[in-house]
Amino acid sequence: MSRTIKEIYAEALKERAKRMELSEFDSDSKLSVMNGLTWVTAAIVHSFETILDVFAVDISNVINSRVNGTPTYYANALLQYQKGDTLTVREDGLAFGYADIDETKRIITQVSYTESSDDRNLDSKLILKVATGENGNLTAISQEELVPIISYINKIKFAGTRVEVISHDGDVLVPRLTVYYDGAIPESDVYTNIEEKLKEYIMNIPFDSSIYVSKVIESIRSAGHVTDVYIDEKAIPEQGVFLASYDTDGHLGAMEKIYRMVKTSSGFLKESTAKNEEKELPTFRQAIKLIVE
């Protein structure tokens, strides 16, 4: 860790005091030529040590990312998966790879991992959660496409490693809330402003991050002409921020209220389409109640 300029300066003064040939330049003034040069030198040394710290962190990150068999190793390997291409052994025999790199075939754009264990197995299982698309427009990878992905990970994994790759449809966010606005613009425009802020929130949250009720409410409150956001405890149906998640079979579970925060099942959020299994779930406009104040 780099030292501060003051620490380096004090050490330089202490070392300088040991040299008799420099005693004639001693001065209590910080504006003296010798003390000024010492301070400038201390600043240069501090800058150099700071650069070394950054370099050390970069080197450490590179080394850690190249260690085989770690969760990060498998996550990075999935990001490099190329749909339809054959995985081959490198010429040096030390790793697997593709003959040609084609970014357009890399369908996995988001990966996260967790480790789980149970009473029947002493070794933990690595669960890799994947999705495709861009932030704000992520989708699940179909079961048909997961088959070759699982085959790919089985080829590169180490013997005895328990790995599971999953991809679920997005968790459906239902902000059933009472929103007050100033009445300066039509109700439809307020709904549009709120929708834009909620979609912006969904787009900006990192993959597989925690969903906080306070942040959902904050995003709605930041919409133009909104004055307050309120959870009416007496309202019917019950108000709050709700989440509905898909299971491994692609079926939508019951809508559950978030009391403070929750982890998503799929790793990302979306608005209800009000179709198929989501036909009973309200869209943002249907879930939010507007009141002029």
The predicted structure's pLDDT at residue 124: 82
Q: Are residues 190 and 273 in the same domain?
A: yes
Q: Are residues 176 and 287 in the same domain?
A: yes
The predicted structure's pLDDT at residue 96: 78
In this structure, the dihedral spanned by the alpha carbons of residues 276, 277, 283 and 289, taken in order and rounded to 10 degrees, is 130
| Residue where a domain stops, chosen among 166, 191, 213 | 166
Q: Are residues 178 and 281 in the same domain?
A: yes
Q: Are residues 262 and 248 in the same domain?
A: yes
Burial class of 131 by CB neighbour count within 10 A (0 to 12, 13 to 18, 19+): buried
Cβ atoms of 98 and 115 closer than 8 Å = no
Average pLDDT over residues 147-164: 91
The predicted structure's pLDDT at residue 177: 97
Residue in the structure block whose two tokens are 């300029």: 5
The residue among 288, 281, 271 whose CA lies nearest residue 226 is 288
- pLDDT band at 171; cut points 50, 70, 90: very high
What's the rounded Cα separation, in Å, for the pair 268 and 282? 18
In this structure, the dihedral spanned by the alpha carbons of residues 131, 134, 139 and 141, taken in order and rounded to 10 degrees, is -40
- pLDDT band at 261; cut points 50, 70, 90: very high
Q: Are residues 243 and 139 in the same domain?
A: no
SS3 content of the chain, % helix, strand, coil (to 5): 40, 25, 35
What's the rounded Cα separation, in Å, for the pair 289 and 231? 10
| Residue where a domain stops, chosen among 139, 166, 193 | 166
Is residue 105 pLDDT above 80, yes or no?
A: yes
What's the rounded Cα separation, in Å, for the pair 202 and 196? 10
Give this prediction's pTM.
Answer: 0.73
Q: Are residues 153 and 245 in the same domain?
A: no
Q: Are residues 20 and 82 in the same domain?
A: no
Q: Are residues 147 and 186 in the same domain?
A: no
Q: If you count DSSP H runs as helices and E runs as strands, how many of each does the chain have, helices first?
A: 7, 15
Q: Are residues 143 and 199 in the same domain?
A: no
φ and ψ at residue 181, rounded to 5 degrees: -140, 165
Q: Are residues 222 and 119 in the same domain?
A: no
Give the domain range for residue 22. 5-66
| Residue where a domain stops, chosen among 151, 166, 181 | 166
The predicted structure's pLDDT at residue 230: 95
Cβ atoms of 182 and 225 closer than 8 Å = yes
The predicted structure's pLDDT at residue 196: 96
Q: Are residues 205 and 273 in the same domain?
A: yes
Model pLDDT for residues 35-81, shown as the tens digit of each residue: 888 889 999 999 998 998 888 888 877 666 666 778 888 999 999 99
The predicted structure's pLDDT at residue 57: 81
Q: Are residues 176 and 285 in the same domain?
A: yes
* Domain tally, the chain: 3
What's the rounded Cα separation, in Å, for the pair 259 and 63? 40
Average pLDDT over residues 232-249: 93
